[in-house]
A = this chain, B = another copy of it.
Amino acid sequence: MAEEVKVFGAWGSPYSRRVELALQLKGVQYEYIEEDIPKNKSPLLLKYNPVHKKIPVLLHNGKPIAESLVILEYIEETWKGNPILPEDPYDKAMARFWAKFVDEKCMPALWKAGWSPESEREKPVEEACECLKTLESALGGKRFFGGDTVGMVDIAAIFIGYWLRLIQEATGMELLSAEKFPELFKWTDEFVSCSVVKGSLPPRDKLLAFIKARIAAAMDQAQTNASK
């Protein structure tokens, strides 16, 4: 019997793209189901992720898994080829540490910096730069966080590798530049040039338009709140 592998995602979400990238790196065929978030979540999504009600969900032979980092670990254990985690327990712990850092520190800081109105940007931008600086230290001269190949930390950092520079283009804000963080900047070039990564990213123009629309909506919201 053929394996059933389905991904419930949203095309503009870095979280579901993480899952797709990992599956593509492993050469796993899957069916992709686009969810209309946040307003029209499908009954299947709510059934498969009743706790968080969020994408992504990986469905493997009828069994659902939620939370992108948990899904990445599952993919690594289920399809062994092209490993995304090192063999050595200590190196593996380091990869997990940095993936968690990306999720819990970098993502919220970058999110805040990206969607804040210009007048409130100073502190979030400072925090985001601090995160990027720390993350750059984890690269330590390597081509990828995973060494010579894309690994779990690279996949977790997909937002920094692709979304961030488009957000900068849309806002004129500069968090990540070749001057400020040369190694991390170089990594984003390496990352998006990688053929499998390239094939798993949303189209540039479509994503840029999406980001611009989101920023405009966030600014409108901020103005509405300010005039209340």
A99 to B41, CA, bound (A): 25
Task: Verify A89–B96 contact, CB threshold 8 A.
Answer: no
A71 to B97, CA, bound (A): 9
A52 shortest CB reach to chain B, Å = 8
Contact of A51 among B71, B73, B77, B134 (CB under 8 A): B134
> Per-residue CB proximity of A50-91 to B under 8 Å, as 1/0?
010000000010010111011101100110000000000110
Q: Given A51-B101, A51-B134, A73 and B96 touching (CB < 8 A)?
A: yes
A158 shortest CB reach to chain B, Å = 19
Task: Verify A70–B89 contact, CB threshold 8 A.
Answer: no
A212 to B212, CA, bound (A): 50
Task: Verify A70–B93 contact, CB threshold 8 A.
Answer: yes
A49 to B74, CA, bound (A): 28
Task: Verify B96–A70 contact, CB threshold 8 A.
Answer: yes
Q: Given A51-B101, A101-B51, A134-B51, A90 and B70 touching (CB < 8 A)?
A: no
23 pairs of residues in contact across A and B, judged by CB atoms under 8 Å: A51-B101, A51-B134, A60-B90, A63-B90, A65-B90, A65-B93, A65-B94, A65-B97, A66-B97, A67-B96, A67-B97, A67-B100, A69-B100, A70-B96, A71-B93, A73-B92, A73-B93, A73-B96, A74-B89, A74-B92, A74-B93, A77-B92, A78-B89
Extra contacts besides A74-B90, A77-B89 (16): CB < 8 Å: A51-B97, A51-B101, A51-B134, A60-B90, A65-B94, A65-B97, A67-B96, A67-B100, A69-B100, A70-B93, A70-B96, A70-B100, A71-B93, A73-B93, A74-B93, A78-B89
